[in-house]
Chain A
């Protein structure tokens, strides 16, 4: 909790008092912090697979440099929502959506959006480590090379920087050309994080990144996330409420495809305004 207070990013400005929690539509706006630019703004977003609505009327703002945790019971649309932020659902047959998602001043679902550069700037880390079938070094380097972010001669340097950043350099510096599949699960996930960070994203979406990891690796990942802000805006989907408490600045509670409530960690866990939120965070539902 104290780390949350120490965050320079999310001001403690509460939701406008004029918006009482009870009757209002769920879309009370998260983080109306005014001063901070919004890395992403979602307005009235609805998504469906083959006609079955998965998420409905979501509105959410992500303040630049903050960590937002998305929590909620299984099947409530958390991951689907996260994946709509960089259009990872597009390739799934039957996916339809409307509403608006903005990345700074760019319409994510607008016409003529360069998906490749959007995904470079809005990166994603998945539930299970998914290294590519190439050497450890190449795993981190491939994104840098694909986007030609630095001259070839500097790629190696950049790879080392990223591996150091995620705390993996010491463990792998003498086997950069080995297969990543020989690393432990936690190390593989850190490698995937390094890979995502290597292309200098502005926003990083994490879909339960520690659910397949042991406690020590989990701590390493959480520590890293805290170090990454405020340079990067982070959204993390998690089943683990304690994790949300530890790492997040703000929490968004999803249920049945709707965004029930958002607020600071303190507010959601100690003073939720919706009954469902209270029941969920106290373990009575979900």
Chain B
């Protein structure tokens, strides 16, 4: 018991708040032992925490891959380029191809879904990034502190709105509004390459444009709140330096704030893109849920991978052979790959253009 070296404590019984009783050496020993154990445990525990996200990603991919393997074998690489989506005759006698059972006359092609996913997400980014970054700059640089705090709270509330609400709003309000007011313009867009995509009948409340706009609005809070935090971190000394040089507010943004936050804002946009690529419910409600064709114009009905998985799930479970479920798993795998590719693409982009080569090392990568 006395091996613990704490002479000053030994000599002062009662000084630890319990008058008259000798200092309890055991508690000190236990505390030290506990401390030593905790020190040893920290690298292990943090190591486990660090591995968990990677393990989850790997596990999901492996399970999906396993689930999708029969479909991958049957559909082949053509799955990515084919357009036709036919679940076949559910009442026919199932056929067997390479040992895999499926309904007769099936054809599964993911191309329109891949394209729809990319198109709607790209549209969302085009809408969301300028608005988000502009809003973030105004919130940090222009609004008085109290208003700026309120704007921040609003942004956070927006993140929390369920996507089904966005979907409802899209189909009940935004869709009819857009189709009504853009119809006149869409008719007059010249029929030349590129521009042709913005021409044609506006159909109704659903389609690529509505989905894209809804997605854009959904990811604005994500990009804006991240951008706001980044812009707040730009040292005020640099901004003051620019103002002291007689630069306009716009020049301060362009010369100081933008270079300082560029790489972070690209990161925030990728975060938003990830959300847009995977968004299911809002798109399922506003896309028009057409299968088998790509969008001819920005007003066309379309579909995305995520929306298709959820809307086809019922029919897939009704497929007695279970093949369609495997096809949906394959679709999920494609979506994961697209998301990962987008992430890597963004990283590559940053490296290529040396976004942060000039900015100080302290500002992330």
Contact surface of A with B, Cβ cutoff 8 Å: 86, 88, 91, 93, 115-120, 123-124, 126, 128, 130-135, 142-143, 146-147, 179-181, 192, 195-196, 199
Query: CB within 8 Å of A: which of B132-150?
Result: 144-145
A117 to B247 alpha-carbon distance, docked (Å): 9
Contact of A143 among B145, B247, B359, B363 (CB under 8 A): B247
Known A-B contacts A133-B259, A133-B359, A134-B358; A196 and B240 likewise in contact (beta carbons under 8 Å): no
A199 to B144 alpha-carbon distance, docked (Å): 31
Contact of A116 among B240, B246, B260, B363 (CB under 8 A): B246
CB neighbours (8 Å) of A116 from chain B are 246-248
Q: Other CB < 8 Å A-B pairs besides A119-B244, A130-B235, 14 of them?
A: A86-B244, A88-B243, A119-B246, A123-B245, A126-B241, A130-B240, A131-B238, A132-B242, A134-B358, A142-B245, A146-B248, A195-B241, A196-B244, A199-B245
22 A-B pairs in the complex with CB atoms less than 8 angstroms apart: A88-B240, A88-B243, A88-B244, A117-B246, A123-B245, A124-B240, A126-B241, A126-B244, A128-B237, A130-B235, A133-B359, A134-B259, A142-B247, A143-B246, A146-B248, A147-B246, A179-B359, A181-B359, A192-B241, A195-B241, A195-B245, A199-B245
Task: Tell me, yes or no, whether B93 is within 8 Å of chain A by CB.
Answer: no
CB neighbours (8 Å) of A123 from chain B are 244-245
Q: Chain B interface: which size bin?
A: 20 to 34
Task: Tell me, yes or no, whether B4 is within 8 Å of chain A by CB.
Answer: no
Ranked nearest first, the 7 interchain pairs of A and B with the lowest CB-CB distance are A120-B246, A124-B244, A119-B246, A130-B237, A133-B259, A133-B359, A181-B360
Interface contact B238-A133, CB-CB below 8 Å? yes
Interface contact B240-A93, CB-CB below 8 Å? no
Closest to B361 in A: A181
Task: Tell me, yes or no, whether B251 is within 8 Å of chain A by CB.
Answer: yes
Closest to B359 in A: A133
A122 to B233 alpha-carbon distance, docked (Å): 28
A128 to B144 alpha-carbon distance, docked (Å): 26
A199 to B246 alpha-carbon distance, docked (Å): 9
A196 to B240 alpha-carbon distance, docked (Å): 12
A88 to B242 alpha-carbon distance, docked (Å): 11
A118 to B243 alpha-carbon distance, docked (Å): 11
A199 to B240 alpha-carbon distance, docked (Å): 16
A169 to B205 alpha-carbon distance, docked (Å): 64
CB neighbours (8 Å) of A196 from chain B are 244-245
Interface contact A179-B244, CB-CB below 8 Å? no
A91 to B243 alpha-carbon distance, docked (Å): 10
Known A-B contacts A133-B256, A133-B358, A181-B360; A146 and B240 likewise in contact (beta carbons under 8 Å): no
CB neighbours (8 Å) of B256 from chain A are 132-133
Interface contact A119-B259, CB-CB below 8 Å? no
Select the residue from B255, B259, B357 with max chain A CB neighbours within 10 A. B255
Closest to A144 in B: B245
A135 to B244 alpha-carbon distance, docked (Å): 19
Contact of B238 among A88, A91, A115, A132 (CB under 8 A): A132
Say how far B263's CB is from chain A's closest CB, in angstroms.
11
Say how far A132's CB is from chain B's closest CB, in angstroms.
5
CB neighbours (8 Å) of B246 from chain A are 115-120, 143, 146-147, 199
Interface contact B244-A132, CB-CB below 8 Å? no
Say how far A150's CB is from chain B's closest CB, in angstroms.
15
Say how far B222's CB is from chain A's closest CB, in angstroms.
24
A195 to B255 alpha-carbon distance, docked (Å): 13
Query: CB within 8 Å of A: which of B228-266?
Result: 235, 237-238, 240-248, 251, 255-256, 259-260
A133 to B246 alpha-carbon distance, docked (Å): 17
